[in-house]
Structure 1
Amino acid sequence: MQCSNTTPHHRKKQIVKLLVLGSTGATGRLLTALAVGRGHDVRTLVRDGSRADLVPGTEVVEGDARSREDVTAALAGVDATASTLGMGLKTRPNGLLIDAVDALIAGAAITGSDRLIMLSSWGVGDTLRRSSLLVRLTYMPGKKVHDEKAEAEAALRTSGLNWTLVYPVALTNGEATGRVRARDLDDVARMPGSPSISRADVAASMITIIEDDLWSRRTVVLDQQPRRRTDGDGPGDSPSPSR
């Protein structure tokens, strides 16, 4: 992951006790598996602990991400929380994200576990107006869900937690490319075209943020690092990736 406008740092992986919310979703499952594979001590909060698709090697805690009591219990002894909770393709909000953030804020006050990396999406809040016309039209059916996300994030920003919001562009189910560009939301005036990024790249980027403790109390936008053309590139050539 290439970070723009950040101070260069030496990578030093920190093994953490990590709580994952949304671990049964498409991106959450990838993040959970990657965290386990990288040696982290992973706990997941799920409604049904008997599900066959749970990632092996995790501590499974049954509970509701909307419940203050359940979330507080899950936060005990945790160094950081990664939330990939979302509404999928639903276009009507149901209060999930607002309730989950409320539960996390309450649980952090009790347990002291205040590091939270939360997956959101491009198009939330005022980022929609920075998008191309095509993207704005595409996102319009889900505007109410995005409005709920914006409300939940506003509460998070004023909570005192050590939060990071992750805004990827449109998600795909492709393989990880490693060509991820990470930029502060304040530095992205426009997002031209209709860019996309794989869930695998987003999951890997979130793990890096956790390990290196990056982007504290900031909103990071993730998209693909543009390819750099070389003199040998022609119409049918594959440009070399930017390093």
Structure 2
Amino acid sequence: MKITIVGGSKGTGAQLAALAQAAGHEVTVVSRSGNAPAGVHAVTGDAADPAVAARAVAGADAVVVTVGGAKGVSRQRTAVTESVIGAMQKAGVHRLLVQSSLGAGDSGSQMPAPLRLVMQAVLAKALADHNKQEAAVQSSGLEWTIVRPTGLTDKEPTGTWKALTTGDGGRLGGSIPRRDLAACMLGLLTDDSSVGKALGVSS
């Protein structure tokens, strides 16, 4: 599979790029820094620029968006995601996986109550950006999946995780190692049952 990862120079995106490349996929990473794991094709640029987004998604079978916020930039996640969606629609690329955050959309009910209060207070601006990002994804007409992780850590992966929609019921834990989240996301890319779903993910 040809996979483009937008925001894959570090964090979960870089972990996903390394796992996908090791699994035999052809991986392209687009980022402003131009950094990418060994063996992965790098595209340098801001994917909020439609020309950069078009170059990044050309020929892809699937696109993953893992961008974070940027200092001094309002709604960075939304801007990048909207640009990528537009490029995918023009190029005829259909499969989209987007990393959001637990607390976005209707996922507050999946969080432990103390964590929910902290998220709402400390991450209000980030969650507002994720809400707009998710709205763009859900109205895109693409074959989308949204992943909403709990707190991300650099701990050793456990190889296990919980992935729940709000309709599944149940609560999620407070954190997940980035490499476990990346492994979960790689599996979801080829899981047709995840299309059109937003999944909260934790250890």
- The aligned residue for residue 124 of structure 2 is 143
- The aligned residue for residue 180 of structure 1 is 161
- The aligned residue for residue 30 of structure 2 is 45
Which protein has the bigger helix share? 2
Task: Answer yes or no: is the 8 Å Cα contact 1:44–1:61 preserved in 2.
Answer: yes
Q: Pick from 139, 146, 150: which aligns with 1:169?
A: 150
TM-score of the aligned structures, taking structure 2 as reference length = 0.91
Paired residues for 1:213-232 under 5 Å: 213-224=192-203
Specify the code of the residue in structure 2 equivalent to 1:98.
T
Q: Pick from 157, 182, 200: which aligns with 2:179?
A: 200
Q: Which runs of 5 or more residues in structure 2 are unaligned?
A: none
Q: Pick from 105, 123, 138: which aligns with 1:157?
A: 138
- The aligned residue for residue 69 of structure 1 is 51
Residues 146-203 of structure 1: per-residue CA shift (max 9 Å, x gap): 0111011112101101110001122121111122122223223x537x5221111100
Residues 181-238 of structure 1: per-residue CA shift (max 9 Å, x gap): 22223223x537x5221111100000111134440011112122xxxxxxxxxxxxxx
Residue 24, structure 1, aligned to residue 9, structure 2: yes
- The aligned residue for residue 124 of structure 1 is 104
Aligned identity (percent) is: 32
- The aligned residue for residue 231 of structure 1 is none
Greater Cα radius of gyration, structure 1 or 2: 1
Residue 102, structure 1, aligned to residue 71, structure 2: no
Describe the shift of the 1:176–1:213 C-alpha distance in structure 2 as closer, same or farther (beyond 3 A). farther
Counterparts of 2:5 and 2:144 in 1: how far apart (Å)? 14
Residues 16-59 of structure 1: per-residue CA shift (max 9 Å, x gap): 1000111122111111111111111001112233x4xx311011
Counterparts of 1:46 and 1:68 in 2: how far apart (Å)? 14
Residue 133, structure 1, aligned to residue 118, structure 2: no
Counterparts of 1:158 and 1:216 in 2: how far apart (Å)? 13
Q: Pick from 17, 20, 40: which aligns with 1:58?
A: 40
- The aligned residue for residue 78 of structure 1 is 60
Number of residue pairs matched by the alignment: 202
For residue 125 of structure 1, give the secondary structure of its aligned residue in structure 2: coil
Counterparts of 2:73 and 2:106 in 1: how far apart (Å)? 18
CA root-mean-square deviation: 2.0
Counterparts of 2:23 and 2:92 in 1: how far apart (Å)? 25
Residue 210, structure 1, aligned to residue 189, structure 2: yes
Residues 61-106 of structure 1: per-residue CA shift (max 9 Å, x gap): 1221111121012111000011111238x7x862211111211221
